[in-house]
Structure 1
Amino acid sequence: MTMTFDALREALRENHARPEGPARNARAELLLAEAERIREPLALVEALGHQVQVYNYSSEKDKMLVPFARLLRIWDERPGDFDAHEAHSLHWIFKWVSSGMLDQPHIPLASIEKWLGEMEHRYRIAGHSERAVRQSEFRVARHVGDRTRAERAFAAWLAADRDRMSDCHACELHGQGSWHRELGDDERALETWQPVLAGEHTCAHEPHAVLASSLLPLVRLGRTGEARANHLRGYRMVREMESMRSSVARHVEFCALTGNEPRALEILADRPSYFTDSGDPDSLLDFLAVTALLMDRLTAIGHGEQDVPGPADGRWTARALAGHARERALALAGRFDARNGTDAVSTAVRTQLDRRPLAERLPLGVRAARLAPATASGTPVREDAAPRDSAVPVPETPGAGAPDLAGLLAEARRLSAAQHPDAGRTWAAAADEAERSGTELSVRDRAEIEDHRAMAGATEPARSVALFASAAALYEEAGDLGEAAAARARGAYALALDGRYEEALAAVEEPCARALALHAAGGATTRQASGALLCRVRILAERFGESDEAVAEVGRAAREVLALAEPRRDEERVAARVAEAYTALGDVAAYGEDVTGAVELYARSAEVYEAAGLPWFAVEPWMRLAGAARHLGDLDTALRAARSALEHGAGRAGARGRARLHLQVAELLAGAGEFAEASEHALEGAHWADEAGESAGLGAYARHQLGGHLLRLGRSAEAAAVLEAVLPDLTVEGHGDGTVVQTLWWLGDALTALGEPRAAAEHWLRGAELASAWPEQRDHAVLANLAGEALFRAELHAQAERAYERAGELWRSLGDVRAVVRTLRVRAWIALREERAADAVAFMASAARECEVMLAPSDGGAGGAAAEWLAELADTHRQSAELVAESGDRETALGYAERAVAGYGAAGADFLDPRTGAELMAAWLEAELGRGAAAAARARRVREVYSGRTDEGARERVAEAESILEHAEGQE
C-alpha cells in the first residue's frame, strides 16, 4: 500500500531524529522509493533533501552528490515543485556539496572551482549575500595551500553581510578560529571560539567540534584544566556521532600528546568502523594520521609489541599499526595533493606525525586500562623498580661518576643519622657495589647492611626475620650489644607482620629487657633501648581494637617508651621514638572516645617530628589529627592538618600514600563547600591511585568523589563523563552500596541537567533497587520519585506512572502525606497524556481527599500546618482546573478554580500570588465561557491587589489582568 504524503512526512521526521549511521541512511533510501510512488512532486523533493542531509552527516558522505544533482535538475526544470522551505534548503545544501566535493580526492579541482562559480551565480540570482560563497572559497584555498587566496577569501567572508544562507554563528566561529590556530595564534583561536565554548552559540554539531579543536591550543598555552574539561565534555558529545570522526581524532591526538595513551586506545576501540569507513576520505585521513601518531608514541615508550585496536581484518600491535596507518595516511594525502597540484596536505600530515608530547601526564579523571610496564626497548621492568615519584637517583656504576664504596657507606650512615627515608636505598647501593667490586666488608658494615635489608623487606616479613637475626649476630660480633638487642626486637616485630603474633610477643620480651639493662649500665643508647620498647608497642598494635584490654596494653607500652625517651628527647635519634609513642597514645585516646585528647596527642607527635627535622615522619600524625578534628567538627584544624600531611608526604609517600593524602584534603574541602579545590585534589588522588595500580579500588572512590564535586560546581558534562566511566569499577562488595547509590544518584542529576532524562531515569531506578534493601527507606522513595519525573520528561508515560506509584507507596509508609499528594497529582497528568481523562480526575480527587484528611483535625483556621495544608489543597484544585480545562470542560474547570481561589484566601496572606494566579485562571475561563463581565470583574480585583507595586511579579500579574480586560471588553 502506497504511503500518504502526511505519513511520509512523519516518517521523514522520525528518521531525522534517529542516530547517524547506515541504518538511518538505509531508511532514507526506502523513504525515497515511497516518495516516488506517491506522485506528489513536493514529496519527492522532500525525500531527496532528507537523503542528502543524512548522507552528509554519516560515513557515507560521498553518496550525497547523486541525490543533490537530481534535486538541482528538478529545480532547474520545475522550480514550482519546491515550496519556500525546500527552495531555501536547496540553496543551503550547496555549501555541503561544495565541502563534500573538496573532501573527495577523485573529484578534479577544476570541477570544484566550476561548482564554486555555479554556487556564486545561483546565490546572486536568489538575492543572497556572498558570505557563504566566500567561506566556501576560503575552504578551497586553505585546503590546497594557497595562502594568499585564503587570506583574501577569509577577509571577504567576514566583511560580507550575514543572511539566511550563512552558516550558523557557532559553525562560522569554529572555522574562523581554526584558521587562527593553523596560523599559530592559539590565543586568538580560543578568543574566537569562546562564545561557542560558553554556550552562547550552539547547533547540532557545536560546541562538539570546537571543544575538540580547542584541546591542543589550551595545552600549549598551559591551560590544562580547561583542556581536561573540554575533553571530558567534548568526547562524550561526539562518541556516538558517526559524522564526527575528525573531532574524535582530535581527542585521540590530545590523549596521545598528554601521557594518556591508554585513554586514546580506548577511544580507538569505541569506533572500529572508523578505520575502514571510506565515504569521507578527509576525516579518514585525520583519523589515520592520529592513529599513526599514537602508535609511534606507544612504540617510543616501549609498547611497540602491545596488542591495540585496529582494522577488523587482523590482530595488530602498536608497531605494526603505526606503519600501516602512516602508509595509508600518506597515500591518501598524496591523492589529495595529486588532485590539488600542491604538497599542502602531505606537508600538514607529516607535521602532525612529527609532533612531540606536550605533557608527560595530564590526569583526566577517567580511568583507562594501564599499559604493561615496559622500557624504551619494550622489555618489562622489574616489579620492585623505584616508584616514579622517587626523589633518589639510582646510583651509577663506578667509572661513570658514581661515588666509590667508601663514599656510599659514608652517605648511607649520614642519611641513617638523619633518619632520612632514602637511607635504605643508599645502603642497598653500597651492598651492590661491595658485591660488584668483591670488596670484603667489616663486620660492622655487614651488620648495618643486613639490618637495612631487613627493614627494606617489609613486604616479605619471613625473610626480614632471618635478616634481623643475622644482623643481631653481626652487631654482637662487632661488640655493639645495644644495637644487637634492638635488631632482635625488630625481628620480633617482623614475626608479627608475618602473622605470628603470639610468637612475636614472646620474642620481644628478652631483647627489651636486655636493652633496658644495657641502657642502665651505659651499654646501650636511649635510641636503642627506646627502639626495642617501641617494637613492643608496634606488635601490640597489631591487635589494636580487638578488646579494651588490648588497647590498654598499647597505652601502657607507649607510656613506657615515653618514660624512657621523653627526658632524653634531644639525644641522637630519640625524638622519633617520642613522637611515635605520642601517636600510639593518640590512637588509644581516640578509641576511648576522648577525641579532644587524641587531637592534642597527634598534634604533639607531629610537632616533635617537625622540631627534630623529620617532617616526612609527621605525615601519619597529621593525617590522624585531620580525621579526629573532623570528627569534632573543627574543619579548619582538620584542613590545616591534612594540608600539612600532603605537604610533607607528597614527595615521599609513594603513589598509594599520595592518593590517600589528596583524597583526605578533597573530602575536607568538600565538607567546607570548597568544591573547586576539592575536585583538583580528587583528580590528583585518582591519578596517584592509578599509578599505584589501584584504579578499581582507591582510584574508583577518588573518581566517585570527583564526579560529585564537578556536579556541585555545575560542570554537569564533565561530571557525567567521570561518573559514567567509574560505574563499572564500583561494586557493592568493594565500595559499599552507599557509594554505588550515591554515584547513580549524582549521575542521574548530571544527565538531567544535560537534557537526557531517559538515561537519568535508568540510573535512578538502579539506585532505587539498591536502596530498597536499606532499613531507612527515604532514599528509596526519593530515587523512585526522581525516576518518575525523568520518565515523564522523556514521555515514557507508562514507566513514569509505575515509578510514581512505587514512590507514592513508599512516601505513605514514611508518613510523608505531602509527597503522596504530589505523586497523585503527577499521575493525574500522566493519565491525561494517555487520554485516560476519568483516571486523571480520579487521581486529582484522591489527592484532594488526602489534603482534606490532614485538615480534618484542625479548626480550619489560618496559620501553622493548617495554612500549609489549605494551600496544598488549593494547589490540587488549581491543577484540577487546568487538567479539566485541557480536556475541554470549562464549566467544571471554573468550579475548581474558584475553590482554589477560596483555598488560597483561607491559607492567608503568604499565599497572595497563588491566589491571584488562580483568580486570573478563573477570569480566563469566564471569558472563554462568554461571561465577559464576570471575567472583567475578576481581572479588576487582581489589578487592584497589585496597585502601587512595581516588582516584576506584580507587573506580570497586572499585564495579564489588562489582557483579560481587553478580551472581556471585546466580548461586551
Structure 2
Amino acid sequence: MSTQDPAVETIRRALHHNREEPEGRARNAGAERLVAEAEATGDTPLLVDALFNLAGAYAYSSEKDKFFVPFARLLRMWDERPGEFDGANTHQLHWIFKWVASGMLDQPEVPLASIEKWQREMEHRYRLAGHSERAVRQGEFRIARHLGDTARAETAHAAWLAADRDAMADCHACELHGQGSWQVDRGRDEEALRTWEPVLAGQYTCAHEPHNVLASSLLPLVRLGRLDEARAHHLRGYRLVRPMESMRGAVSCHVEFCALTGNEARALEILAEHPAYFTDTGDPDTLMDHLAVSGLLMRRLVALGHGDRSVPGPAGTDWTARALLAHAEREAAAVSARFDARNGNDAVSRRLRERLAAGPLVERLPLGVRARQRLTAPAAPAQPAPAAAAVPADSGDVGALLAEARALSEAQHPDAGAAWAAAGRAAEHTGTALGDLDRAEIADHAGIAAFTDPGTAVPLFGTAAGLFDAAGKPGEAAACRVRAGYAAALAERTGEALAALDAAIDALRELHGAGRATARQLTGAWLARLDVTPPGAGDEAELLRIIAFAEEHRDEERMAGRLADAITLHARHTAARGDVEASAGLFARAARLHHEAATPWYAAEPEALLADLSLQRDDHTTAEESARAALEHGAAALGPVHRAHLHTVLAAALAARGADAEAADHALEGAHWADEGEMSEELGAWARLVLGGALLREGRAAESATVLETALPDLVRAHHDGRVVQARWWLGEALRDLDEPRAAAEQFLLAAEIAQHWEEQQDHAVLANLAADSLERAGLAGEAAQAYGRAGELWRAMERPVPLVRTLRARAWLSLHDGQGGLAEGRAAMAEAAAVAEEALAAATAAGDGAAAAHLRAELAGTHRQTGELIVRSCPGEPGEEDTDGSARAAYEEGLACAERAITVFGPGPARSAAQLMAAWLEADLGRHAAAAKRARAVIAQYAGQDESGAEDESGGEDGDAGVAAQRLAEARSVLEYIGERPAGPEKAEAGEA
C-alpha cells in the first residue's frame, strides 16, 4: 500500500503524538493499538515504525518486561527481510539491541546463560555492522557489576572507556552517569562527582539526564559534607523524575536521601505520590530498590517512636510504619533471593542488606519545603555556655552548685534557673538541708521556668514567697507574688490576677518607702500590672510616670534593665498608635540599656522588635543589623518560633539589598525553625516565600519552583493578597525559566485575578503581559491575544505608551498563526502601535523631555522595522521566477519601505544598525546587490573603532553592548558573502550612509 494512503499517514501522525505522551500504561496501550492498526494496513515500513515505538514505550515504563516481544519480532523481520528497514530503522534496531542484555539482567527469571548469550549476539552483530566495541564493553560491564564480579567489571570498564565512541555509544550524559555510579560503588565519591560535573552543569543532557545523576549524587554529596549542593540536587532532581513512570530507581534515591538526613516526613510524602511503585512488577530490579528504601524509611520511623503511625503503602491495606517495615523487608528479600538464585551468588542480597541497615548521615538537613505533617517534637535551640564555670550537677557539691547559681542570678544570666534546679536536685539526692533563702530561690526559678503552665507556676511562686518572708526578704516575697499574679493573668484568671497584683504593689510601695524593697522590684510590679490590664487611654501617661521613676532611681543596682523593660513596653504602645519613628528610637534605646547593664541576652527582645519594625518601614540596614544582634544575643532563650521569625526578617532585609545567597541561607533556617515550632505554618510560608524569591534571583529556578509550590497553600490560607500575588509571580517566572510555559501562564493569570482589584493597576498589567508571553510560548495563540488585549487596555488607561506599544506589537506577531488571513489584523495592530508611539514622541518633544523622547523614538523605529518584518514573514514565497504574480516582490518592497522609515526615525548612530541590516538583506533578495553591499558596509563602518574582541564603541546606544556589536558585524559580513563580495575588515570599511 502506498505511504500516501490517508490511513497510513493518519497512523504516522498518531505514532508521532504517541511518542510525545507521558510515560506510562496509557501510552503503552496506545502504542499497542497502533501496532495492530499498522499491521492491518499491510505497510511493512509502517509496522516496523510502530513496533519500534512500542518497544520504546515498554522500555520506559513499569511494563519493561514486555519490551522483549516487539524486539524479537523486529529482529526476526530484519533477519528475514532487511530490505524493509531504511537507514534510520537499521540504526534503531542496533541501538535498542543494547537494551536486551541489560534489560534481561533486571528480570531474575531470565537465566544468566541467556543474558551472556545475548551479550555475545550483540557483539557479533555490532562487528558485522562495523560498529565500535564501546557499547558492547559497556554491556559487559553492567553484567559484571550486577554480579558483583569486581575484577571483570574493572576490566570491562577500562575497555569501555578505551573504545572509540560511535553512533551506537550511549549519549555522553548516560555514559557519565554509569561511570560515576561505578566510582561510588568503589568508594570514590569525589571522583564520581567530578565525572558527573558536565551533566550537572548542563553540558550533556538527554531525556533522562541529569535526572539520574541528580538522584545518584545525593548521598555522595552528603557524605562529603556538601549539604547545600545535596539539598539543591534533591529539590531540582525530584521535580524532574516525579512525573516519569520509568524513574522509580531515581525516586528511590530521593526517598533514601530524605530518610538519612532527618527528612522522614518528606520521604513519606514522596512515597504517597507513587502508590503504584509498590505493585508494578515489570522491572523487579527497581521494585527491589523501592522496597528497600521504603523499609529503610520505616526503620527510621520505628526508631523515632513512630512505629504505629499510619503510612502510605500498597493499596488495599491500612499500613503502620511497623507493618510496612516487615512487608518491605520481606518482599525486597524475596526479590533479591530470586536474583541470587539466578546469579549463583549473594551479591544482590548483600547490597540490599547494606542499604536497609544504613544509619542517618546527618541529624538534620533543612530542605526548605514543608512536610504537611510533623514527625518529631521541636528541637531545642543550642544553649550557650554559662557565664560562670559550670559545676557538674551530679558532683554532690551542693555548696558549689548554690554558689554558681547565686553568681548567675547576680549576673541576671538566663542559665540561672537551670543552675538553681541543679542545686535543688543535688541537695535532694544527697539529703542536704537547705536554708529558707536557698529553697526560696529554687522555688522562684522553678516557677519562672513554668510560666507557660500557670497551674504549676502559681503555687511555686506562693511557696517561694512564703520562704522569702521566712528568710527576712519581704521585697523578694512581694516580687514573687507579682509573678504569681502575672502567671494567673496568662491563664486568663483576670480577677484573681489583678487582685494579687494590686495587693503586691501596695505591699511593695510600703516596703520601698521603708527601705525594705528596691525601686527595681516596685517598677517591675507596675509594669506587670500595666501589661495585663486592658489597654486604656491613660496607658502612655502611666508608662511615662514609671519611666520617670526608673530614671530617678537609675543608680540602683540592676535598675538599668528594669528601665529598659519600661522603655520596651513604651515602644510597643508607641508602635501600636502608629508612631513608628519614635518607637524605633525607643527600641534602640532599650537595647543599649541592656548592653550597658552587661546583660546582652535581654537586649534580644527590643532588638528583635526593632528588626521587625525596621523591615516594615523599609529600613533594611537597621532590620539586618538588629536581627543579627537579636539572633546572637538571644541564643540562650529563643524558642523555635522566635528564631524562625528573626531568620526570616534577616532574610527579607538581605534580599531587599540584593544579598540573595545569604538571604536564602537565613530563609532556609527560618523555614526549618518554623516547622519545628507549634502552629507556625504562616511564618514558615513567609520564610519559604523569601527563600523562593532568593533562589529565583540566584538562577535556581527548579529549587525556587519546588519551594514556592509547597508554600502557596499556606500563603493562600493565612497571608494577605500581596504575598500570594508575589508567590504566584515568582513561581510563574520559575516555571517559565524551566520551559513550562502553560504552567507559568496559569500562575501569572491567577496572580492577575487578585491584582485586578487593587487600586494601583501596574502589577495587574505586568502580570497580564507575562501571562500573554507564556501563553504564546505554549502555542495558545487565541488565549495569548486575549491576555495581550487585557494588558494593552491597562497600559492605555495608565497612559504608559512604551509598554502599550510593545503589547500591540506582540499582538501583531500573533497574526502569523493565522497565516495570510491574519495579516490584516497584524498590520492594524502595528499601525496602532506606531500611532501611539508617534503621539507620545510628539508630547515628550514638546515637553522638552529628551530622555523620554529618545526612548519613544527607539520604540517608533522598532515598530516600523517590525512591521516590515511581519509583512515579509507573512509572504508565502520570495521574489524570483516562482513569484508569478509579483506578490512576494511587492511584500519585500513594502518591508524595505518600513525599514527605511525605521532608519529615518533613528537618525545617524549605532542604534539604526538592525534596520540597516534588514534593508540590506531585502535589497539582496530583491536582486539589488550594489545597494545591499553599500548598506552592509555602512554598518561595518559604524563599528570601525571597535576591535574584534567586541569592546564597546564610544557612540553608545542600543548597539553599545559588546555582544550586540559583534553580532551586527558578523551579520553585515554575512550579507556581503551572500551577494558574493569579499567582506572588508573594519579598517577597510567604506564609510558612508545607506
Contact 1:662-1:684 at 8 Å conserved across structures: yes
State the Cα deviation string for residues 375-414 of structure 1 (Å, max 9, x = none): xxxxxxxxxx994656799xxxxx9957598887666555
Residue 534 of structure 1 pairs with residue 531 of structure 2 = no
**CA distance in structure 2 between the partners assigned to 1:604 and 1:460 by the alignment:** 32
State the Cα deviation string for residues 121-178 of structure 1 (Å, max 9, x = none): 1111111110010000000011111111111000000111111111111111111111
| 1:845 shift after superposition | 2.2
Contact 2:715-2:724 at 8 Å conserved across structures: yes
Contact 1:337-1:345 at 8 Å conserved across structures: yes
Q: 1:630 to 1:262 in 2, by over 3 A?
A: closer
- Report the equivalent of 2:644: 659
- Report the equivalent of 1:95: 98
- Report the equivalent of 1:379: none
1:560 alignment partner, SS class:
helix
| 1:785 shift after superposition | 0.8
Written as runs of structure 1 = structure 2, the 5 A alignment for 1:389-408 is 389=382, 401=394, 403=396
Single out whichever of 359-368 and 669-678 deviates more from structure 2: 669-678
- Report the equivalent of 1:396: none
Residue 854 of structure 1 pairs with residue 840 of structure 2 = yes
| 1:945 shift after superposition | 4.5
Residue 483 of structure 1 pairs with residue 476 of structure 2 = yes
**CA distance in structure 1 between the partners assigned to 2:293 and 2:945 by the alignment:** 67
| 1:965 shift after superposition | 4.6
Residue 722 of structure 1 pairs with residue 710 of structure 2 = no
Contact 1:389-1:652 at 8 Å conserved across structures: no
Residue 347 of structure 1 pairs with residue 350 of structure 2 = yes
- Report the equivalent of 1:16: 19
1:93 alignment partner, SS class:
helix
Q: 1:292 to 1:593 in 2, by over 3 A?
A: closer
Written as runs of structure 1 = structure 2, the 5 A alignment for 1:660-675 is 660-675=645-660
- Report the equivalent of 2:678: 693
Which residue type is aligned with residue 534 of structure 1?
Answer: G
Residue 104 of structure 1 pairs with residue 107 of structure 2 = yes
Single out whichever of 1-10 and 609-618 deviates more from structure 2: 1-10
TM-score (norm 1): 0.90
1:532 alignment partner, SS class:
helix
| 1:549 shift after superposition | 4.8
- Report the equivalent of 2:870: 883
State the Cα deviation string for residues 557-592 of structure 1 (Å, max 9, x = none): 12312322x212xx3x44432432343455567678
State the Cα deviation string for residues 196-229 of structure 1 (Å, max 9, x = none): 1111111111111011101111111111111111
Give the alignment partner of residue 858 of structure 2, picking from 859, 871, 879. 871
- Report the equivalent of 1:254: 257
Q: 1:492 to 1:350 in 2, by over 3 A?
A: closer
Q: 1:879 to 1:906 in 2, by over 3 A?
A: closer
**CA distance in structure 2 between the partners assigned to 1:792 and 1:176 by the alignment:** 41
| 1:923 shift after superposition | 3.4
Q: 1:31 to 1:299 in 2, by over 3 A?
A: same
1:11 alignment partner, SS class:
helix
| 1:604 shift after superposition | 4.7
Residue 561 of structure 1 pairs with residue 550 of structure 2 = yes
Contact 2:381-2:635 at 8 Å conserved across structures: no
| 1:699 shift after superposition | 1.2
- Report the equivalent of 1:777: 761
1:617 alignment partner, SS class:
helix
Q: 1:541 to 1:671 in 2, by over 3 A?
A: farther
State the Cα deviation string for residues 632-661 of structure 1 (Å, max 9, x = none): 876555433322211222343121122122
State the Cα deviation string for residues 61-115 of structure 1 (Å, max 9, x = none): 1111010111111111111111111111111111112211111111111111111
- Report the equivalent of 2:661: 676
Give the alignment partner of residue 308 of structure 1, picking from 306, 311, 333. 311
Contact 1:534-1:558 at 8 Å conserved across structures: no
| 1:14 shift after superposition | 1.1
Contact 1:505-1:536 at 8 Å conserved across structures: no
1:804 alignment partner, SS class:
helix
Give the alignment partner of residue 633 of structure 2, picking from 614, 638, 648. 648
**CA distance in structure 1 between the partners assigned to 2:974 and 2:594 by the alignment:** 78
TM-score (norm 2): 0.88
State the Cα deviation string for residues 654-685 of structure 1 (Å, max 9, x = none): 21122122222222222332111111111111
Q: 1:616 to 1:947 in 2, by over 3 A?
A: closer
**CA distance in structure 1 between the partners assigned to 2:505 and 2:811 by the alignment:** 76
Which residue type is aligned with residue 762 of structure 1?
Answer: E
Contact 1:493-1:536 at 8 Å conserved across structures: no
**CA distance in structure 1 between the partners assigned to 2:93 and 2:524 by the alignment:** 86
**CA distance in structure 1 between the partners assigned to 2:179 and 2:249 by the alignment:** 17
Give the alignment partner of residue 222 of structure 1, picking from 208, 221, 225. 225
Written as runs of structure 1 = structure 2, the 5 A alignment for 1:669-818 is 669-731=654-716, 734-818=718-802
| 1:883 shift after superposition | 1.5
Stretches of structure 1 that go unaligned for 5 or more consecutive residues are 375-384, 394-398
| 1:287 shift after superposition | 0.7
- Report the equivalent of 1:27: 30
| 1:873 shift after superposition | 2.3
Which residue type is aligned with residue 858 of structure 2?
Answer: A
| 1:185 shift after superposition | 1.0
| 1:290 shift after superposition | 0.8
Contact 2:868-2:897 at 8 Å conserved across structures: no
- Report the equivalent of 2:63: 60
State the Cα deviation string for residues 227-278 of structure 1 (Å, max 9, x = none): 1111111111101111110010011111111111111110100100000001
Single out whichever of 806-815 and 316-325 deviates more from structure 2: 806-815
Which residue type is aligned with residue 712 of structure 1?
Answer: R
Q: Please, what is the CA RMSD of the aligned residues?
A: 3.2
- Report the equivalent of 1:178: 181
**CA distance in structure 1 between the partners assigned to 2:578 and 2:649 by the alignment:** 21
| 1:726 shift after superposition | 1.3
- Report the equivalent of 1:382: none
Contact 1:116-1:133 at 8 Å conserved across structures: yes
Which residue type is aligned with residue 925 of structure 1?
Answer: L
Which residue type is aligned with residue 544 of structure 2?
Answer: G
- Report the equivalent of 1:919: 916
- Report the equivalent of 1:124: 127
The count of aligned residue pairs is: 944
| 1:829 shift after superposition | 1.6
Q: 1:78 to 1:627 in 2, by over 3 A?
A: same
**CA distance in structure 2 between the partners assigned to 1:664 and 1:965 by the alignment:** 59
* Identity across the alignment (%): 56
1:731 alignment partner, SS class:
helix
Contact 2:681-2:714 at 8 Å conserved across structures: yes
Q: 1:412 to 1:942 in 2, by over 3 A?
A: closer
**CA distance in structure 2 between the partners assigned to 1:283 and 1:608 by the alignment:** 64
**CA distance in structure 2 between the partners assigned to 1:413 and 1:258 by the alignment:** 42
Contact 2:564-2:593 at 8 Å conserved across structures: yes
| 1:459 shift after superposition | 2.9
**CA distance in structure 1 between the partners assigned to 2:648 and 2:281 by the alignment:** 47
Contact 1:485-1:514 at 8 Å conserved across structures: yes
1:419 alignment partner, SS class:
coil
Contact 1:534-1:561 at 8 Å conserved across structures: no
Which residue type is aligned with residue 739 of structure 1?
Answer: R
Give the alignment partner of residue 621 of structure 1, picking from 601, 606, 627. 606
- Report the equivalent of 2:414: 421
| 1:819 shift after superposition | 1.6
Which residue type is aligned with residue 219 of structure 1?
Answer: V
